[in-house]
Homo-oligomer: A and B are copies of this chain.
């Protein structure tokens, strides 16, 4: 099986070559292209080339926030765990998730809501540029819309890619009906790995610039 051992950076390079080839003649926006390709790299699912939607200069606003040392809030510890820690450190950014925070759990219990819902209320207290990445809970996205409507939170970018069958499509369309910069995988698909891939694609655009 020796012929099947390949160094990780070489696997990544060849994978992106294959993705580029199989995407064929499709014209991609140069800012959106690295995001779309990294999501396909993470899922082996080319349908994301059709469903990924970029609203209100999402990529430019996201890169700007990362260059300014943004805080990234995820809705799952799984998504948090996949975000590149060396890239965050290089940019002076931080990533956090409030799902295991005892105060958030208590707030959810007291208000009769979910921890995903209470997490978004908690995110309102964060200073500085903010990126919210939702890969799992449509209720997080819905609560975020309410908080934005009420003027209580103003993210530089919302990544809205929850996955599932109930209220997921609706929550994504609610997000896209706002004026916030947003990257959304329309339809049912998405997930924590997709949220992570989008965050990492943006991080790498800055930290790997000139290395590609």
- Interface segment among A36-44, A56-64, A118-126: the answer is A36-44
Residue of B at shortest CB range from A15? B165
Copies of this chain present in the complex amount to 2
Give A78 to B7 CA distance when docked, in angstroms. Answer: 21
A192 within 8 A of B: yes
Contact across chains for B5 and A44 when beta carbons are under 8 A apart: no
A124 CB to nearest chain B CB (Å): 18
Q: Mark A70-109, 1 if CB is under 8 A from B, else 0.
A: 0000001110111000000000000000000000000000
A174 within 8 A of B: yes
Chain A interface main SS type? helix
A168 surroundings in chain B (CB, below 8 A): 44
The answer to whether A15 and B166 touch (CB under 8 A), given A1-B174, A82-B78, A139-B5, is yes
A190 surroundings in chain B (CB, below 8 A): 44
Contact across chains for A146 and B1 when beta carbons are under 8 A apart: yes
A17 CB to nearest chain B CB (Å): 9
Contact across chains for A164 and B41 when beta carbons are under 8 A apart: yes
Residue numbers of A with Cβ under 8 A of B are 1, 4-8, 11, 14-15, 18-19, 41-45, 76-78, 80-82, 114, 117, 138-139, 142, 145-146, 163-168, 170-171, 174, 187-193, 196
